[in-house]
Structures are given as structure tokens and as C-alpha cells.
Structure 1
Amino acid sequence: MSTLFDLLIAPFADFGFMQRALFGSLMLSLGACPVGVFLMLRRLSLAGDAMAHAILPGAAAGFLIFGLDILPMTVGGLLAGAVVALGAGAVSRFTIQREDASMAAFYLISLALGVLLVSLRGSSVDLMHVLFGTVLALDNEALALIGGIVAVTLGCLALFWRALVAECLDPLFLRSVSRLGSPVHFVFLGLVVLNLVGGFQALGTLLSVGLMILPAAAARFWASRVGSMCVVAVLIGFAACVCGLLLSYHASLPSGPAIILSAGVVYLASILLGTRGIVRARVAHRHRTA
């Protein structure tokens, strides 16, 4: 019994930094995982990855001017994400290029510019902090920021839920029967950027999208309704955060990658064992052909 306590409870009971890391990562899961479900249903998962890189130059500019101060880096990330989202949308609307190609172009430029800006002033340690985050170093200011982002996200999801679901299923129908089509699209992009900026504080620009997409992708193998998928995705995100932090503590591994890899393990297991996974599909097929 004491061994289980030492393995599972003691790291969070004994150390304040582990408590803050757990609280912050659970809040991130609560906001980012439902957004990831809508990204996946819209077949925009890779666009989420692009947006995660898009915030880098703004965060890097904040770092260049103010150092590792959370507020300037957050504001910079939000501005950069908005510029890339609007720029890619404008290019796809007014030229022959599709949105996925313009988004990829903007994301590559943003990633290179952000790394260059960090390198102008910071060391390799600072660069690693911006790219991969430091969830174990979350302070009260960062937790307050993440909490605010989660509150805004859940409020917007509750307010625009039906419109968001309708746009996933048939965006042309939504625009034909309601004026909410275009506004909801931009609200959703804003939520993506907002949650990526929140995840940036803990997981960095390269891993924040992982907590958004992997639990959502895993939930697809366990549920078929949008609401159920969001709940399952959040629970998977919670489990990945707890397991990742414990693995990081006991094995002395980087905490951010440990969380994302834990989510990845759940995703791979869901492909095989989920109610809509490979094994269940094979069993059902054998019963039908027997």
C-alpha cells in the first residue's frame, strides 16, 4: 500500500511544483481537448499543428524585448497567431492557392522567424524552453492565465455548440440557414489560437498541439457522438497528464514529451482496443460472416 502511495500520490502530495504542474495540465486538457475534437471532425488537425508554430514569432518577440515574462510572450503569441490565421485565410480567398497550402507556407515562415528571434538574444536553453515548454515551472500567474483561457473556451463552446457541430457536418447548410456560419468559423479559429497559447506556457510551441489532437483522435475510436467524444477526449487528456508527470518524476524525463507520449500510447491502444477499433471491427466481421 505504501508503495502505491509513493508511486502515485506522494509526488503530488509532497511537492508544490508537481501540484501546479498537475493543475495546469488538467486545465489545459479541459479546454484544449474539446477544441481538438472539432479540429479533427473538420479535418483540420494539421492546421492545428501549423497554428502551433504560428504563435512562435510573437512569443519570441515578447521574449526578445521582455525576457521570459509570461504576459508579453502571451500577447505576442496571440497577435502572431491571429496574423497567420487571417493571412492564410486571405490568401486562400483572394488567390488560387488553397488554405492548407497557404497555412503551411505561413507556418514555415513563422517557425523559422521565431527560432531566429529567440537565437538573437537567448541561449539554447531559452530556445528549448520556448519550443518545448516547462510544465514543472508553472507559477501562479501562468495558472491564472490558463484558467482564464479555459473559462473563455468552455463559455464559447457552450454558447456556439450547435453552430459548431452544424459547421462540422455541413458548413454550406449552416451558412444558408444562419448568419452564424462565418462568425463561428473565426470564433473557432480564435479558440484554437487561444488554447495553443495557453499550452505554450506548459508544453511549448512544438508540443502544445499534441495535447489538443492526440486525445481527440483517440476518443474517435471510443465514441460516435460529438459530445461523448469531447468528454472521452478530456478524460484521456487527464490520464495522459497524470501518467506523463509521474513518468517524468520517477524516470527523470522531460515532462512535456512524457505527457504527449502518454497520450500517444493511449491513441495507439485505442486504434486496437477501442469500441470502434481494429480488434472490435474484426470480431464483429467474423460474427457477421459466421
Structure 2
Amino acid sequence: MIEALTGPFAEFSFMRRALVGCLALSLSAPPIGVFLMLRRMSLMGDAMSHAILPGAAIGYLLAGLSLFAMSLGGFAAGLAVALAAGLVARSTVLREDASLAAFYLLSLALGVAIISIKGSAIDLLHVLFGTVLALDDTAILLLVSIATVSLAALAIIYRPLVLECFDPQFLRSVSNLSSPTHLAFLVLVVLNLVAGFQALGTLMAVGIMLLPAIAARFWAEDVAGMFVTSVLIALIASITGLLASYYTSVPTGPAIILVCGALYVVSMLAGAKGGLVFGLVPRRHLEA
């Protein structure tokens, strides 16, 4: 049993690289997902994951499958879409969710079209679904660096970010940190989606960010508890998904996200903080 769990990582270097990359993602992306969920911006994460596609596609068009070019292009495009959606929402009658939806659809179509101009169906699949088993040392360094920067930045802006989630009006009344905090958070969202894009592709990157965070809500009520729980769920899903992909024919990225989804379903059913089964258990008088 132990050999089945550790053997693939001990024997193959590509499995070890994939494990390190997924662990880095699991440490930084789920806490970002927790704040997206608390701010009722979960669907924004999905929209932003597609917003990076045109930039990554332009990087691919100019430099091929260059890690630096595609990452820089994806980051620039994601940040530009986030700022543009906010500007449109503040300047027109459209709400920010509708503006993001429009940009998301245009970005997805534009990115696919750009890649199709130069590349093949294999290149398109690489961008959309990632190649976690093909991570090289440069990609690993990028993922670890983004995880380090994200965790450090979250520690710095943690208090105003929590305040903005639960009482944004109070934060605006006592401090000028609301707008800088929101901008810094958007940068962290885009950074982590760029990191996830390198391993899981644009269509799967948001899964490792949001599914563990949503599942964690059924096990913890405070923000710190959701942080820890979401990271643990992501770590379990990453390791399990890698092993499932190794022993079966399921692609690695979808396998990891499917495990995240399975853990979400388990949490929704059996979670101690509002799970369906827990809600059916009779409570004592005055216990709420």
C-alpha cells in the first residue's frame, strides 16, 4: 500500500515535479478562493481564468510555448480585463458581473482564435487543460515564487481584506485602504490564475482555487479555519489526483479537479458546519 502511494514519486522525476507544482498551487490558490467566496465573487474567478487566455495566446503567437512570454501575457491580459470590467461598471449602467461576463466570452473566443492561427489542436489542448506532468524546473520556480509572493501579500493585507469582506463601508469610513486592498487582491487573483494556468490550463486553474475554498465552508466558520481547511483539501486532491492519473488513463489536470469536486460533494453532505446530513440531526433545545 505504501509502495503504491510513494512509488510513482520515488521512481519518476516528472511525478516529483508535478507534485511540487501542485503543492505550491495548493498553498496559495485556495486562500485566494476563500476571499473570492466571502466577497461573493466566485464567478469572477472563473471569468478571470478565461481573461488570461488572449494574453497567453499572444505570448504563444510571438514566442511559441515560452513560459515567460505566456505568463507575462496572461498576467497583463487578466489584470487589464479586471480593471476594464471595473471601469465599465463604474462608467455605465452595467453591473460588474455583467461586464465581466462580456469580457470573459470575448477573451475565451479571442484566445482560442489566436492559438488556432499558429498552433495545432495539441497546442490548444495544452493551453486549455495544462500539462502538469510536463512541468520543468523553470515552471516549478515560477509556481513556488508566485505562492511565496501570494502568501506574503495576503499576510500584509489580511486585516483590511477581511474587513472589506464583512463591512466594506466601515473600512472606507476609517481608512483609505479599501481601493488599494481591492487592487492588490485582484493582482493576487490574476497571479494565481497564471500559476494555475501553467499546470492545469485556463479551464482548470480556477478549480484548484475555488472548489477547496467552497468545500472548506462546510468545515469551518472563521476565515483562518477556512484557510487551513481549504489548503488541506487542495493538498489531498492534488496528491490523489496525481496518483489516480498515474494508475488510470484520466488526464492529470481533470483528475485533480474531479477529486476536488468529490471532496466538495462529501463536504456538502457530511460537513459539520451546515452539511446536509448534519442539518438533519435533531438539535437540543436552544442549540442553534
Counterpart mapping for 1:161-180 below 5 A = 161-180=158-177
User: Which residue of the partner structure matches residue 121 of structure 2?
Assistant: 124
Tell me the CA shift for residue 252 of structure 1. Answer: 2.2
Tell me the CA shift for residue 5 of structure 1. Answer: 2.6
Does residue 1:187 correspond to 2:184, yes or no? yes
The one-letter amino acid paired with 2:276 is I
Counterpart mapping for 1:23-172 below 5 A = 23-172=20-169
Tell me the CA shift for residue 278 of structure 1. Answer: 1.1
After superposition, the CA RMSD in angstroms is 1.2
The one-letter amino acid paired with 1:61 is I
User: Which residue of the partner structure matches residue 263 of structure 1?
Assistant: 260
Q: Which runs of 5+ in 1 are unaligned?
A: none
Aligned residue for 1:96, secondary structure, equals coil
Deviates further, 117-126 or 272-281: 272-281
The one-letter amino acid paired with 2:177 is L
**Alpha-carbon displacement from aligned partner over 1:73-132 (angstroms, at most 9, x marks no partner):** 000001100110011000001111100000000010000000000000110000000000
CA distance in 2, matches of 1:253, 1:279: 31
CA distance in 1, matches of 2:93, 2:271: 41
The one-letter amino acid paired with 1:273 is A
2:14 to 17, 34, 54: 17
The one-letter amino acid paired with 2:120 is S
1:204 to 192, 201, 205: 201
Aligned residue for 1:205, secondary structure, equals coil
Aligned residue for 2:201, secondary structure, equals helix
CA distance in 2, matches of 1:134, 1:210: 15
**Alpha-carbon displacement from aligned partner over 1:211-262 (angstroms, at most 9, x marks no partner):** 0000000000000000110000000000000000000000121000000000
Tell me the CA shift for residue 7 of structure 1. Answer: 1.8
User: Which residue of the partner structure matches residue 281 of structure 2?
Assistant: 283
Q: Which runs of 5+ in 2 are unaligned?
A: none
CA distance in 2, matches of 1:160, 1:47: 20
CA distance in 2, matches of 1:171, 1:284: 36
CA distance in 1, matches of 2:208, 2:148: 18
The one-letter amino acid paired with 1:159 is I
TM-score (ref. length: structure 2): 0.98
CA distance in 1, matches of 2:157, 2:79: 20
Matched residues, number? 286
Does residue 1:216 correspond to 2:213, yes or no? yes
**Alpha-carbon displacement from aligned partner over 1:188-232 (angstroms, at most 9, x marks no partner):** 011000000000000000000000000000000000000110000
CA distance in 2, matches of 1:220, 1:124: 38
CA distance in 2, matches of 1:165, 1:238: 24
2:243 to 246, 256, 275: 246
Q: Percent of aligned positions with the same letter in both sequences?
A: 59
Tell me the CA shift for residue 30 of structure 1. Answer: 0.4
Greater than 3 Å deviation, 4+ residue runs = none
The one-letter amino acid paired with 1:278 is L
Does residue 1:233 correspond to 2:227, yes or no? no
CA distance in 2, matches of 1:117, 1:32: 28
Tell me the CA shift for residue 186 of structure 1. Answer: 0.6
The one-letter amino acid paired with 1:209 is V
